[in-house]
Amino acid sequence: MSEPRFADQLCTELLKVLGTADHQLETVLARLNAIALRPLGESAWTAESLSRALRQDLALPVASQYHYATLVQGRGAHPARATKREPRRTPEERAHRLLRFGLRNQWYCVAASSEVKDRPTGMVRLGEQLVLWRDSTGRVHAMEDRCPHRGLALSVGSVAGDTIRCIYHGVEVDQHGVVRKVPGLPDCPLEGRKLLHHYPTVEHYGAIWAYFGIEDGEPPELKLPYELTDAHWSAEIHFDVWPGNYHYIYDNLLDPMHGIVLHGQTYTQSRGPHTDRVQVRENDGGFEVFREGQRGVNLDWMEFVESDGAYYVRVEIPLPPSAGPGGPMHISFYVTPVDDNKTRITVFRSRRVVGWEKDLWHFLYHRKLKAIFDGVLAQDLVVANALPPWPAQENLYQHDIGLIQMRRKLERLAQMQAADLGLGDY
Ligand code: FES
Ligand SMILES: [Fe+2]
């Protein structure tokens, strides 16, 4: 591993070079070779020594002063699904609950891969208690966090090969929610019965998505942003749980005009005119929200993407030359309700980079840029903390056109789903 002080010095020099010269590898090497700093044990910077120095640094632990990530554990007080003892809800009540806790028949990004290790992990998502766990092959599974025997959380149990075992009487359940073993009673009638709802999962790029269907069944294929599937792009993941209903997060993401005010002191955010009008344009997979008077200056363009039951927001963030090659950073932002008053955010920060540019992006990210980007999110978190319980009393104006579009879409879908649910338990 490289010395931290060496990496700090290299980072400082690279920021200077990138901010004042073109981003060609030859230029960067020539400028580095003109200063006193040398690669460890070598007399000159080459493509190889630079790549080595950039990559070695990735092994360093990542620390951030803005780290709020918490996995919400335990049992929620307000489960979204009705219990058997509650009276059946009207379609209007169901639509309102769907809006508050999150629409069904969708893929949601529920956890980071790093949060689910060899033990079952409990969490609340969309007002439901889930347990995530890995089987003997490392494949991740998600299901109701409830032992079919007497209702104990399975997340305090353990993994036994390809089943999860309850700590209370040892009942074992497989990934489809089928009871496989009741150890204390051979031939128990519970064995072989599917007694728990399970959630299909996909793991990709360090994150886990789960499908929240209305009923059990085959989900549509999860379509991911091109930034996470195209080898020309390279991403870093950031996740957290924020206070407030998930509507507030979408509101924030589809509101370009807060950039120059809330984030005005940060990085590129104060650039450009401070007054403007906002437009919305529908496209194939959702809609774009953008400032009329500028593009590519700061927070001035974003897109709500809706693809086969998975929603995310793409935001384009122009970066200054010192942030190196790769063009504007793209953010793919996944919003997952925890309950009606907390929201899990998963943010993929990507740039279009390959080869040494990719090494450089990740090096600069961990050394310098992550703290800046997290600092911007910390400003949004101040807002999330200061908003009233959803929904707020409001007087909207022209700039709120993006969030109005989003709210209409969610309301329409909630009404459709509430009608489709028939006599379901929601
Ligand atoms: S409650 Fe889980 S085995 Fe009895
Ligand atoms: Fe913001």
Q: Band of the pLDDT at 426, cuts 50, 70, 90? A: low
Pocket of ligand 1, beta carbon within 6 A: 147, 149-150, 152, 166, 168-171
SS3 of 404, please? helix
pLDDT for the residue numbered 58: 66
Q: How far is the CA of 269 from the centre of ligand 2 (A)?
A: 10
pLDDT per residue as tens digits for the range 377-417: 999 999 999 999 999 999 999 999 999 999 999 999 999 98
Spatial separation of the C-alpha atoms in residues 136 and 228, rounded to whole Å: 27
pLDDT for the residue numbered 231: 93
Spatial separation of the C-alpha atoms in residues 387 and 418, rounded to whole Å: 28
Query: Is 319 within 8 Å of 15 (Cβ atoms)?
Result: no
Q: Which atom of ligand 1 is nearest to the CA of 150?
A: 1
pLDDT for the residue numbered 18: 95
Q: Which atom of ligand 1 is nearest to the CA of 154?
A: 2
SS3 of 2, please? coil
Ligand closest to 259 (CA) is: 2
Q: Which atom of ligand 1 is nearest to the CA of 171?
A: 3
DSSP 46-83: -HHHHHHHHHHGGGSPP--S--------S--SS-SSPP
Q: How far is the CA of 150 from the centre of ligand 1 (A)?
A: 5
CA nearest to 322, candidates 5, 15, 22, 1: 15
Q: How far is the CA of 184 from the centre of ligand 1 (A)?
A: 11
SS3 of 95, please? helix
Residue 210 pLDDT greater than 90, yes or no: yes
Nearest CA to ligand 1 atom 3: 169
Q: How far is the CA of 264 from the centre of ligand 2 (A)?
A: 10
Spatial separation of the C-alpha atoms in residues 59 and 3, rounded to whole Å: 11
CATH superfamily for domain 106-212:
Rieske [2Fe-2S] iron-sulphur domain (2.102.10.10)
Q: Which atom of ligand 1 is nearest to the CA of 147?
A: 2
- Range name among 76-80, 111-115, 181-185 with the lowest pLDDT average: 76-80
pLDDT for the residue numbered 84: 53
Mutate-to-test residue for ligand 1 from 146, 150, 179, highest number of ligand atoms within 8 A of CB = 150
Spatial separation of the C-alpha atoms in residues 39 and 32, rounded to whole Å: 10
> Would you list the domain boundaries of the chain?
4-59, 106-212, 226-418
Instruction: Determine phi and psi for 114, rounding to 5 degrees.
Output: -65, -15
CA nearest to 373, candidates 249, 246, 267, 244: 267
Query: Is 364 within 8 Å of 329 (Cβ atoms)?
Result: no
Q: How far is the CA of 257 from the centre of ligand 2 (A)?
A: 9
Please, which residues have CB within 8 angstroms of residue 2's CB and are 6 or more apart in sequence? 40, 53, 56, 57
Q: How far is the CA of 265 from the centre of ligand 1 (A)?
A: 55
pLDDT for the residue numbered 68: 38
**Dihedral sign of CA atoms 119, 125, 129, 130 in order:** negative
Ligand closest to 373 (CA) is: 2
Q: Band of the pLDDT at 360, cuts 50, 70, 90? A: very high
pLDDT per residue as tens digits for the range 271-330: 788 999 999 999 988 999 999 999 988 889 999 999 878 999 999 999 999 999 999 999
Q: How far is the CA of 190 from the centre of ligand 1 (A)?
A: 12
State the alpha helices, DSSP H only, in 176-329: 246-253, 259-262
Mutate-to-test residue for ligand 1 from 169, 172, 179, 180, highest number of ligand atoms within 8 A of CB = 169
Q: How far is the CA of 259 from the centre of ligand 2 (A)?
A: 6
224-251: b (≥16 Cβ within 10 Å) or e:
bbebbeeeebbbbbbbbbbbbbbbbbbb
pLDDT per residue as tens digits for the range 140-160: 999 999 999 999 999 999 999
* More confident: 4 or 310: 310
Residue 218 pLDDT greater than 90, yes or no: no
Nearest CA to ligand 1 atom 4: 169
Any idea what the Cα angle at residue 367 is, between residues 361 and 371, rounded to 5°?
Answer: 100
Q: Band of the pLDDT at 419, cuts 50, 70, 90? A: confident
Class of domain 226-418: alpha beta
* More confident: 104 or 266: 104
Residue 30 pLDDT greater than 60, yes or no: yes
Give the pTM: 0.90
pLDDT for the residue numbered 61: 42
pLDDT for the residue numbered 72: 38
pLDDT for the residue numbered 21: 87
Mutate-to-test residue for ligand 1 from 143, 154, 171, highest number of ligand atoms within 8 A of CB = 171
Ligand closest to 173 (CA) is: 1
Query: Is 181 within 8 Å of 149 (Cβ atoms)?
Result: no
pLDDT per residue as tens digits for the range 50-107: 999 998 766 544 433 333 333 333 444 444 454 555 667 888 888 999 999 999 999 9
CA nearest to 64, candidates 379, 362, 370: 370
Query: Is 281 within 8 Å of 288 (Cβ atoms)?
Result: yes
Ligand closest to 183 (CA) is: 1
Q: How far is the CA of 374 from the centre of ligand 1 (A)?
A: 42
pLDDT for the residue numbered 65: 37
pLDDT for the residue numbered 90: 85
pLDDT for the residue numbered 62: 41
Ligand closest to 249 (CA) is: 2
pLDDT for the residue numbered 276: 96
